[in-house]
Structure 1
């Protein structure tokens, strides 16, 4: 099964990245079987699936050919803008046809049930499906502990406002961290403090000190594929955080929104190491399917269930979207699309790393060691004028994001960096983009203001 999915993902990726262009004939079934070292029936199955998804078509006694691309993909590749800023998924890989099928199937299956108010915890059938889905990430939870939310942000906002059993009020956040959540905490006047996190990790002694004396309600963290750094905690760091949470009765809110995009084996979440239920686990589906789907899930410790449900109160997530997601997962489409998009992003990260190796030979940029996910940190020399650098890059149609936005307003120990996202930049643009960034940084260092 895995071999078939790997072949399907690889061919799909080559089509989307232009290695197989519109109208090009694919290798024959026998040639492809030799190429992938598998049986003819495995290739036949992969080609049939691609044909079903309208990615290729067959001509009798001739072979298989790539379908001519229309619309978004051509517009994206023809664009002169090199977009290192956008964090949304690449529209060229949105699973439109598959999800349309799932919407239709959901309507046929659930009919009138989809147009009622529903359960505030989410569709029961979806929550049971999520049990096995989350288990794949080493998150083992019963359906009654899982709540479906309108994206991960809704869960984050509820957790910030609701009381916790430890009676504390301060939220501890990594610095840098998710900018939208920090702006929310500051706007709501919620007590918040920061702790430095870099590409090398976090000071666990400082973390323990804050847990011991900081009046911390919960620690908000992205343990895997952090935004904006792109890095993950080591296994030892994750185990230690889990242990400290239990020791000091501090909850950890683990935002694992990038879980499906990683390819490294053995990177389990903090949740998997915590045996005393001090970890809240958050999962978002917007990075895999569509940003506009607005579906997430939260796994809650038993002690937090009643309070969370009181704050959520009513069903506010589309029943149709939930039913379609359930169908999408049950029939294997989610797993297949996850493989496709994670493979595509890993390929782009590889291209980026190779471009950095070639053009950043003088070491002007300190680049985080990232092999998968979406984000990479380009740490800059302190003499660089960040605002002017971004303006000069924009004049070259290269869009990047300043690292300033990822810090609390009052936090002073900031690194100067660009957050680079590969989710929408096309592979053929990455080389030029990296070369231009290095050149502009070199000019800033040579002629500082």
Structure 2
């Protein structure tokens, strides 16, 4: 049994890292048995498992071939369109590390366990058993809360929308956002025409003096921030910054909406969120499970101060998150599968980020690109010279089938102090693709730089 799992793991790693290219034919069952020193039955079983995981496919009388999808040379971008190339743009998890079989088991177990409950409307606050499990799960990140303060939401996005629209006990109206920040949230604020204020955030952090000025004079309802693995910068606040933000929230009666959506994607130890330093219940803590399991799962958790619970409940109104998905996630966490998968995907992404940093060091001899220097999470910022023609750069990269994201969309319209940058994501780029992709980006930045 151990031999089988070792062979299966080795095959998956070779596919993931590009050793077997998309569309390429795998060696025959007999040849693979010779290479691994095992029976043909063991190889047949491993190939069948890979086919079940959608990593390979079989053609009768021909053999087994690698599926042509993301993580091995081509796949889906965030718009769902299938394309070839190297993807530095997608925020979705690598298709080859999706825990298909584990979660399928949990879904089946949930159906067997809850049966008729699956056909009833759920509690708007979320499944009681899952919220109890989340009490222990969140405590691992120093987020201590009773079940009545936890809401299960349709990803972090639903909670963000509700919080933006609902009134807060401080009676203030303006939402403070970093520049740059999560682009979809900025678009929501624009569409809803909600009053906003801005504060600059760079790879070096934010000005705490400016934050205090805005808290004191800006009629700030809440400050929306990502304390770690910021989107798009990839950076995290220092301990001193997190403590200071919590203290300022208390001093000026301003709430903090802490979007910790990538809490599980790093290997750093001892990172306590802003929530851990909040002594007066001024921090709303948000977590998403989409970036580590399945984007389509659409499950998140919001930990609310007691004074916000009733209003949030009224705005949420109904149980809109799938009871089956919640039950399956509850089982997935309880039986240790979540923790195991978290360790595996965090290690994989950290390895890719290291490869990314090393590739930039190798190819960026002229120093035209300035990276934010992160080593965990999935994002990093590549700051470019102001003389780079971004339209030309993006066009040339697209022609080479290299997808990345222009930093312009992470700012509100009219914000004049924009940095010119690319947001680079490693979640869908295998280590075998990273060096090639970064070499091409550096080359095209040189071409697009007017003074090169």
| TM-score (normalizing by structure 2) | 0.86
Shift of 1:197: 0.3
Distance 1:192 1:363, change over 3 A: same
Distance 1:8 1:227, change over 3 A: farther
Shift of 1:25: 7.5
Distance 1:9 1:158, change over 3 A: farther
1:17 is matched with 16
Please tell me whether the aligned partners of residues 242 and 274 of structure 2 are also in contact (alpha carbons under 8 angstroms).
yes
1:119-177 Cα deviation digits (max 9, x unpaired) = 11000000000001101111011111000011111000000011001100000001100
- Tell me the secondary structure at the aligned position of residue 369 of structure 1: coil
Q: In the alignment, is residue 158 of structure 1 matched against residue 183 of structure 2?
A: no
Choose the corresponding residue for 1:240, options 239, 244, 250: 244
2:175 is matched with 171
Please say which of residues 195-204 and 18-27 is displaced more in the overlay: 18-27
Q: In the alignment, is residue 344 of structure 1 matched against residue 348 of structure 2?
A: yes
Q: How does 1:199-278 map to 2 (within 5 A)?
A: 199-278=203-282
CA-based RMSD of the aligned residues comes to 2.6
- 1:9, 1:288 → 2: CA distance? 22
Point out where structure 1 has 5 or more consecutive residues left out of the alignment: 1-6, 29-56
1:334 is matched with 338
Point out where structure 2 has 5 or more consecutive residues left out of the alignment: 1-5, 21-25, 56-65, 75-83
Shift of 1:410: 2.4
Distance 1:304 1:357, change over 3 A: same
Please tell me whether the aligned partners of residues 257 and 287 of structure 1 are also in contact (alpha carbons under 8 angstroms).
yes
1:272-315 Cα deviation digits (max 9, x unpaired) = 11111100000000001110111011000001001100111111
Choose the corresponding residue for 2:419, options 408, 415, 422: 415
Distance 1:193 1:16, change over 3 A: farther
Shift of 1:65: 9.4
Please tell me whether the aligned partners of residues 10 and 340 of structure 1 are also in contact (alpha carbons under 8 angstroms).
no
1:362 is matched with 366
Distance 1:8 1:381, change over 3 A: farther
- 1:441, 1:19 → 2: CA distance? 26
Shift of 1:114: 1.6
Shift of 1:388: 1.1
Choose the corresponding residue for 2:115, options 90, 111, 117: 111
1:194 is matched with 198
Runs of 4+ more than 3 Å apart = 7-28, 57-74
Distance 1:65 1:365, change over 3 A: farther
Shift of 1:361: 2.0
1:435 is matched with 439
- 1:107, 1:190 → 2: CA distance? 42
2:77 is matched with none
